[in-house]
Amino acid sequence: ETLLKVENLYKSYNRNTLVLQNVQMALKQGEFVSIIGPSGAGKSTLLRCINRMIDPTSGSILFDGVEMTTLNKADLRSQRAKIGMVFQHYNLVSRLSVFENVLHGRFGYKSTLQGVLSLFTEEEKKLALEILDKLGMKEFAYKRCDQLSGGQKQRVGIARALVQQPKLLLCDEPIASLDPNSSKVIMDHLKDISETMGITVLVNLHQVDVALKYSDRIIGLNKGSIVYEGIPENLSNMA
Ligand code: ADP
Ligand code: ADP
């Protein structure tokens, strides 16, 4: 039932400063967990270590039964395919359509040319449209991403991650650039993804109130160390 187990994780970008110190964390399948903490606490670094965008300095990351820190390139690629990423600044290709951005999430940015839809099978396109529909974005499928609002762009970002059919969704400050209404839409979708699709969702947030409202569990990170871990009810009592 445990999908991700992080043990004794340390990270330093340069020799003198530890950005993560002895981080321990376990996530169950379908769990919705928030990481809260001030800017510079190491939240983003932790997510990037988990999907091996960056290499941890030491420690263990067991994901879906496989140790991530010692993988070769081919195995790393297949493990990463099971991890979807959602970013604060969406990381969409703005001159491509919504549909193209979403398809590329699964299959990589295969071509820099427009008119790339012919690269994908009917089944792949059907899946992408179903996911866009679930996120209320089907009617925007053929719009260019640069014509969308921030909240709409983030729904495309989530759709792109979901076409990978991931087991884990890592969201790095997904609502930090959004207004309250769009933030609620995005958080409601992320919650629904964990509850109805059984996907584990790990979200970096700096808004404690949002973490309290949506999380099964909250992890507090400060100066690279976990300083709190528990259910929202306990954190509310503490505050
Ligand atoms: P958070 O996401 O909680 O704001 P980060 O993980 O982005 O925290 O950053 C943690 C610390 O690591 C900060 O002091 C930041 O300046 C430093 N840091 C982040 N990325 C790098 C990098 N690529 N090189 C050197 N230092 C970095
Ligand atoms: P910030 O905290 O300001 O978003 P980061 O150091 O987290 O800065 O990231 C630097 C840039 O790289 C950002 O534009 C971010 O969106 C992008 N980025 C970070 N992680 C990934 C990733 N896994 N894949 C693609 N782009 C990424």
Residues 30 and 199: beta-carbon distance below 8 Å: yes
pLDDT tens by residue, 177-201: 999 999 999 999 999 999 999 999 9
pLDDT at 133: 98
Counting from 1 in the atom list of ligand 1, the atom nearest the Cα of 44 is 2
Is this prediction's ipTM beyond 0.85?
no
pLDDT at 112: 47
Cα torsion through 159, 160, 162, 164, rounded to 10: 160
pLDDT at 16: 81
Q: Is 182 in the pocket of ligand 1 (CB under 6 A)?
A: no
Show Cβ contacts of residue 239 under 8 Å, excluding neighbours closer than 6 positions. 208
Residues 117 and 99: beta-carbon distance below 8 Å: yes
- For ligand 1, the distance from its centroid to the CA atom of residue 41, given in whole angstroms, is 8
Q: Give the predicted TM-score (pTM) of the model.
A: 0.89
Whose Cα sits closest to atom 21 in ligand 1?
13
Q: Is 19 in the pocket of ligand 1 (CB under 6 A)?
A: yes
Q: Is 85 in the pocket of ligand 2 (CB under 6 A)?
A: yes
Considering the chain, what is the average pLDDT of its residues?
A: 93
Going residue by residue through the chain (239 aa), what tens digit of pLDDT does each one get? 999 999 999 999 998 899 999 999 999 999 999 999 999 999 999 999 999 999 999 999 999 999 999 999 899 999 999 999 999 999 999 988 999 999 987 666 555 455 567 777 888 899 999 999 999 999 999 999 999 999 999 999 999 999 999 999 999 999 999 999 999 999 999 999 999 999 999 999 999 999 999 999 999 999 999 999 999 988 766 55
Show Cβ contacts of residue 108 under 8 Å, excluding neighbours closer than 6 positions. none
